[in-house]
Amino acid sequence: MTGKISHTGATVAAPPSKFGAVLRVTSGNFLEQFDFFLFGFYAHYISKVFFPVDSEFASLMLTFAVFGAGFLMRPLGAIILGAYIDKAGRRKGLIVTLSIMASGTVLIALVPGYTSIGLLAPALVLLGRLLQGFSAGAELGGVSVYLAEIATPGRKGFYTAWQSASQQVAIVMAAALGYGLNQWLSPEQVAAWGWRIPFLIGCAIVPFIFILRKSLQETADFQARRHHPDTREVFESMLRNWRTVLTCMLFVAMTTTTFYLITVYTPTFGRSVLHLSTADSLLVTLLVGLSNFIWLPIGGALSDRIGRKPILVGISLLALLTAYPAMLWLVANPSFGHLLAVLLLFSFYFGMYNGAMVVALTEVMPVNVRVVGFSLAFSLATAVFGGFTPAISTYLIELTANKASPGLWMSFAALCGLVATLILYRRGGAASRGEQQESAARQGRSAARA
């Protein structure tokens, strides 16, 4: 192992090990998101097993409500676990979040259906979702801050983009498993027990993720700080910076809404609204995951070169103007090719915006409470906007009888992102100062090469 000893006597990451550090830290993020996606992908089957009511709409709404309930736990996890990560360290905190998430995953994978244990079945599924949501509240922030702190000068955008990129690997794997199950099993077999197979696979790889994450090294930035805030100081800092947190919540709204629209909601939308085959919907989701994986590091790297603000403003404007017209065109001409074309467009928006947004979020937060601030803003946005996107989309279609209405929800989220970007990047704002510091780091790196 390549490393060095800090003033505290602990081993910290050395530059040659950064690729390995990225792999170790994002592996847990991959697993957490893999299990989240599975719940959305198999919402149709889960609704039949755990929420069997006479109305298919009501059954699906109950399932998406439980899916969304996990996101309501994220702000609580962001504050409690985020404060722990800022105090105890990135490595210790990320092992804790992984442990809690694994407990929720095992619970959802193994709980019997409603016909076997009655109301206890949906109650246990809800508990599993709440545990997953609680851990996820700090997981994304912890991983993003870790990547930002190990990044080489002038490349923070590129490094932090791999947090979201690891999620896309999870999407591809989940969609590929779903596509394979629909090819190998009959619809009756998938509905009865086949949908559990991907969840069990997620349980099986938990031990390997623990091995990877336990070998994670603490960041040099965290080790170098003499003071780590206690819980009281964290709460006081969040109260002082509440305007920044709420603005950043709107900042994240664009990315989290688009993300859950084009990934988790796609199989249900394709099958139940557009009446495409399950295989077609899952294949589109798989290709969207691949597209996201390509655009995310490009967006992060481009923001390192030209700045965060131009990308954030440009993409949010495009999404605001085109999301609803694109959905109108799709529902008027439903087909596999048209669904793929629209979602690949939205994938471009998500990848470019998120690639710049995640690193900007790490730059705007006070350094001593960077994880909890990032996590709280992201969790609030996911709870208010993204996490309930499948439920809101389903409700809007039922309420308005307009199959394109999810595009209006995405346009609203884009407007939130645009307004928040302009506020955060006003002259002298914290985001502007963070970008100026990153620009100085880029110039320093160029000078060193010369």
Q: Structure pTM?
A: 0.79
CA 388-328-312 angle, 5° bins:
60
Residues 6+ apart with CB under 8 A from 57: 394, 398
d(CA 402, CA 330): 12
Domain ranges of the chain: 16-217+237-449
Give pLDDT, residue 372: 83
Residue 321 and residue 279: Cα distance in Å, rounded?
31
- In sequence order, the 6+-apart residues with CB closer than 8 A to the CB of 184 are none
User: Is residue 383 predicted with pLDDT exceeding 90?
Assistant: no
Q: Contact 372/233 with Cβ under 8 angstroms? A: no
Instruction: Single out the residue of 140, 138, 164 nearest to residue 303, CA to CA.
Output: 164
Tell me which residue of 264, 266, 258 sits closest to 410, measured CA to CA: 258
The highest-confidence range among 69-78, 180-189, 292-301, 440-449, by mean pLDDT, is 292-301
- pLDDT value at 16 more than 60: no
- Please give the pLDDT value at position 342: 95
- Alpha-carbon gap, residue 51 to 53, rounded angstroms: 6
Q: With a cut of 70, say whether residue 200 has pLDDT above it.
A: yes
What is the per-residue DSSP string for 173-207?
A: HHHHHHHHHHHHS-HHHIIIIITHHHHHHHHHTHH
Please state, as a whole number, how many other Cβ atoms lie within 10 Å of the Cβ of residue 30: 20
- The stretch 292-296 carries a mean pLDDT of 94
Q: Tell me what pLDDT residue 347 has.
A: 96
Q: Region 390-414: what's the mean pLDDT?
A: 92
**Which fold does the domain 16-217+237-449 belong to in CATH?**
Growth Hormone; Chain: A; (1.20.1250)
- Among the residue ranges 150-154, 212-216, 410-414, the one predicted with the least confidence is 212-216
CA dist 362 → 13, 146, 153, 169, 174 (Å): 20, 10, 14, 23, 29
The percentage of the chain sitting over the pLDDT mark of 70, rounded to a whole number, equals 89
